[in-house]
Structure 1
Amino acid sequence: MPSSQEVLLVTGSYDHEIRFWEAWSGICSRTLPHPGESGQVNRIAISPDKRFLAVAIHKKVHIFDIASPLTTPIMLFEGHTHNVTSVSFHSEGKWLVTGSEDGTIRIWDLRTNSLHRTYDNGAPVNDVCIHPNQGELISCDQAGSIKQWDLSENTCTFELAPGGDVPIRSVSVSSDGFCLVAGNHRGKCYVWKINDEGSQLPRFQAVTKFQAHDRYLTRVLISPDIKYLATCSADTTIKIWSISPNYTFKLDKVLRGHQRWVWDAAFSADSAYLVTASSDHVARLWEMASGETVRQYNGHHKAAVCCALHDGAGY
């Protein structure tokens, strides 16, 4: 991972604060206080060019200018009627996608500061990720469904329900766009190979499933180099699974140190480090090779529930 000057590490907490950290020293370099109204910080995301920080606070999304000393947002996206549970930037920073417990997925235009499109998911949305081709979204929901949304056709083009009505908590697509992993409420992970649209094979081809945790699963995340899957859980651990070329998953190591639920995780660009956020108020930086905590970020007064890491070059 690069020097602290090139690394953006941000955490959000139920203490209503967003904190920026110096990755290597563990020092909090900046704090954004809660922007006023009641509501919890749910998710955060850093734009690919490192200009903007998107913070999902209850029903709204606040966009901050990272370089600005101001503690007030430069944009505010309103329209969701329940908690915003997911937020992700388009690869060129042109738009932002959000998912919400109100059962909708919304695309916001960052150039015009306006709502561009709304999809009706029909059930509370738990997570949304953007396919690397930037033309599709993959969402998961409380009703147990995983859906593919085609941005050009403005519609849901595929739906999976691997575990019946068991809620799917988190989804992750590999950086090459060929692997989809989903984790459900009961700790089980499902894996699909994503075939090219012109292929004779099904678009989503089931590969395997495995029990990752015996308790509530909160996040699944494929590393940028597609060699590892990180799964986070209520059991206080993060499990690291090695991924073979044919998409078999083998437990590589268990990261132990958090004292309460682990809510979120973010890999470094080179996949050598992992940041996690936990209800024990602490965020941790783990070295993947050793499985050890190399830095701990103390300062939040309540559960740290989301984190974002950007240590690559901005476009």
Structure 2
Amino acid sequence: MLCCLNPDCQDPLNPDGNKFCQYCDTPLISLLRGHYRVIKLLSDEGGFGRTYLAEDVDKLNEQCVVKQLAPKIQEASVLRKAVELFKEEAKRLQQLGEHNQIPTLLAYFEQDNYLYLVQQFIDGQNLLKELQQQGTFSESKIREVLLSLLPVLKFIHDRGVIHRDIKPQNIIRRQSDGQLVLIDFGASKQLSATVMMKTGTAIGSHGYTPIEQMQDGKAYPASDLFGLGATCFHLLTGIRPSQLWMEQGFSWVTSWRKYLHNSGSGIASRLKLGKVLDKLLKTDIQKRYQSASEVLSDLISVSPPSAVLTTLISTQAQSLTTSRSASTTTLQLGARLRNQLIISAAIVVLAIAGVWYSLSRPVAITKSSPSQPVKTTSENSDQPDTLKGHSSDVNSVTFSPDGQMLVTGSDDLTIKLWNLTTKQEIRTFKGHSSYIYAIAISPDGQTIASGSFDKTIKLWNLNTKEEIRTLKGHSDSVASVAFSPDGKLLASSSLDKTIKLWNLQTNKEIRTFTGHSGGVASIAFSPDGLTLASGSYDKTIKLWQIANGKEIRTLTGHLDLVSSIAFSPDGQQLASGSKDKTIKLWNLNTGKEIRTLTGHDDKVTSVAYIPKGGYSKNPDSVIVASGSNDNTIKLWDTATGREIRTLKKDSGYVYAIAISPDGRTLASGGSADNIIKIWHP
């Protein structure tokens, strides 16, 4: 069959071989732009065009979605602006499509006075159909939806895009992997926005659209969050928000809990997500959540760590990075999710997102005060140098073995290599389809390893930026990667609760370490390469024998998830950082806790030992550095447990820290303005 592309045609489907539409007599286009065969009408955009299913004959009839933009507006100035906006939006969609949970833009063009977008077809069914077939969602399933979509929203919002129409119909569960995909970003909505003030047309769907969008035509990140809250309500209760809106206006959001009693979703008073939904559904935008990261942070706090772990990246939490609790959610898990849950994620993150910008543009790095000379380590100043170039949270930082370069990984799906002498970006590595939570450099300085929310580890040639290979095997986000001291092995940990050991000569998985009951946020090799340590969401640290994969012992004492671990330079001690706001020092010979370091006001996201003599006037002292969501980095004397110094950040979470090989420079990455700071305390 072949579709008529006249947007006014009431019966566009025609038999093959027809030259003219049998309903409206419009000439039929057999191949749009020479290779898209339009075969089915999917939806009518009501005055702004239609959406069709098509086949790309140049790609073995691969299915795709064709959106036709045909605004019924006569004013020339408005039409010109619409065309301009369409082109700008298409470029934006091309960037957004780099995210694994957003359809890829395949083409955009004008033909026969109509504008067209061609996007990837997502094979699956939307959440409205899932609701109709399977019944109302449980609280855990709603948590999964939030952890999966919040990082996507963060992603688009960070790139200056507001979706404007979040609802179950625009969320598809992809059949191939079960992930939720956000669709219908549209140029049609952008086009509507252009003419809204002239036509009085509101954008969005009644019940899902907040008051500022309905009345004033203005949309913000918080506007999408209202739509997400209304979507969760619909899935929990089976009641359409549009129905309540028609009967009550926006007053229904103040009493939404009463509809739970008749939905089979559980007792309203037991709904742990209640406060989160309350804030998502605030009619006053000032009282509503302002960012996806904020939601992820609260979501992690009311969710069982195991639940966040499982949903969060399994189904995406894509967010791991939930605000670092999730972003670390994932990673440290996530920057956005990672922030509280470490994943985030994460994102959440969610952090956690998603999304939103130019991921690969190289940017020259300068100090925040270019007129001042770069400070040397001898100046012992707490004023850091600043590296700017990432377009989203920086989740991981690591120095090259010679200390001359820094490698950073970000939620913007890129890895960047920096020259620390010139403060310039050397190159950008791209290839992951989701947030990058972990990076490591091989001992010979030739290879970068990266772990991502997309469940893969990639190996890169540091000098050429070429991808060497991709290691697959984890069933959830990869939170940490580490090279063995001899560079022959790579270890990876995941929210799937496992650690994997890889032979880098054969590129094969050697073994899988199992035993943690929660996601594994951090791993580290001992200096002699014989032992592997792992820190987990289950609040424990485990020590493993590399040779046989057997567990040596479990270290317990933290009151919340363990986000980071590090061996001392002599291998006799281990430091661990936790969401319980403390750092613990452990004697590895006895398995006993040496002491607890307290002083941070929020989750400790990263710990690292500083070699003797670094940052201290005492050449024999060993210092531990810790980064936290309280926006600070602290230095501690391990012998006394005394806090030596606090390095203040301007704002934002600290997701990762790293120490140069000579122990005289500290690098930190986080959520503040997407920058990396280089400290010379």
- Which TM-score bucket, shorter chain as reference? 0.7 to 0.9
After TM superposition, the structure 1 = structure 2 runs for residues 130-145 of structure 1, keeping only pairs within 5 Å, are 130-145=525-540
Q: Which amino acid aligns with 2:596?
A: K
SS in 2 for 1:170: strand
- State the 1:97 CA deviation: 0.3
From 453, 460, 464, the counterpart of 1:68 = 464
From 252, 257, 262, the counterpart of 2:644 = 252
SS in 2 for 1:183: strand
Contact 1:106 1:116 in 2 (8 A): yes
Q: Which amino acid aligns with 2:435?
A: Q
The alignment's C-alpha RMSD in Å is 1.9
Indicate the structure with greater strand content.
Answer: 1
Per-residue Cα deviation, 1:220-257 (whole angstroms, up to 9, x for no partner): 1111336211111111111111233xxx2211111113
Separation (CA, whole Å) in 2 of partners of 1:190 and 1:141:
14
Query: Is 1:151 matched with 2:538?
Result: no
SS in 1 for 2:491: strand
2:679 match = 286
1:40 match = 435
2:411 match = 14
- State the 1:36 CA deviation: 5.2
Contact 1:258 1:278 in 2 (8 A): no
From 486, 505, 509, the counterpart of 1:111 = 505
Per-residue Cα deviation, 1:147-196 (whole angstroms, up to 9, x for no partner): 111123321120121135x211111110101111111112111112222x
Q: Which amino acid aligns with 2:470?
A: L
2:603 match = 216
1:301 match = none
Deviates more, 1:21-30 or 1:104-113: 21-30
- State the 1:69 CA deviation: 4.8
Separation (CA, whole Å) in 1 of partners of 2:571 and 2:608:
13
Separation (CA, whole Å) in 2 of partners of 1:212 and 1:221:
16
From 546, 551, 567, the counterpart of 1:173 = 567
- Alpha-carbon distance change, 8 to 147 in structure 1, aligned in 2, over 3 angstroms: same
Tell me: higher relative CO, structure 1 or 2? Use CA pairs within 8 A at least 6 residues apart: 1
Query: Is 1:89 matched with 2:483?
Result: yes
Indicate the structure with greater helix content.
Answer: 2
Contact 1:212 1:231 in 2 (8 A): no
Deviates more, 1:145-154 or 1:233-242: 145-154
For structure 1, the residue ranges without an aligned partner over 5 or more in a row are 196-202, 289-315
2:424 match = 27
For structure 2, the residue ranges without an aligned partner over 5 or more in a row are 1-376, 378-398, 613-620
Separation (CA, whole Å) in 2 of partners of 1:205 and 1:133:
21
Separation (CA, whole Å) in 2 of partners of 1:69 and 1:230:
31
Q: Which amino acid aligns with 1:253?
A: R
SS in 2 for 1:259: coil
2:115 match = none
Separation (CA, whole Å) in 2 of partners of 1:213 and 1:6:
28
Contact 1:193 1:205 in 2 (8 A): yes
Q: Which amino acid aligns with 1:12?
A: G
Separation (CA, whole Å) in 2 of partners of 1:126 and 1:69:
27
1:298 match = none
Contact 1:221 1:231 in 2 (8 A): yes
From 185, 194, 198, the counterpart of 2:588 = 194
Separation (CA, whole Å) in 1 of partners of 2:450 and 2:432:
13
Contact 1:145 1:168 in 2 (8 A): yes
Query: Is 1:57 matched with 2:449?
Result: no
Separation (CA, whole Å) in 1 of partners of 2:656 and 2:447:
20
- Alpha-carbon distance change, 153 to 194 in structure 1, aligned in 2, over 3 angstroms: same
TM superposition score normalised by structure 2: 0.39
Name segments (4+ residues, structure 1) moved above 3 Å: none
SS in 1 for 2:463: coil
Separation (CA, whole Å) in 1 of partners of 2:405 and 2:562:
29
Contact 1:230 1:238 in 2 (8 A): yes
Matched residue count? 272
Q: Which one has the largest radius of gyration? A: 2
Separation (CA, whole Å) in 1 of partners of 2:577 and 2:459:
29
Contact 1:186 1:214 in 2 (8 A): no
2:631 match = 236
Query: Is 1:102 matched with 2:496?
Result: yes
- State the 1:205 CA deviation: 2.7
Q: Which amino acid aligns with 2:415?
A: I
2:342 match = none
1:264 match = 656
Percent of aligned pairs with the same residue?
28
- Alpha-carbon distance change, 259 to 181 in structure 1, aligned in 2, over 3 angstroms: same
SS in 2 for 1:74: strand
Separation (CA, whole Å) in 2 of partners of 1:133 and 1:18:
29
- State the 1:25 CA deviation: 2.3
Separation (CA, whole Å) in 1 of partners of 2:632 and 2:422:
24
SS in 1 for 2:569: coil
Contact 1:276 1:285 in 2 (8 A): yes
Separation (CA, whole Å) in 1 of partners of 2:534 and 2:601:
23
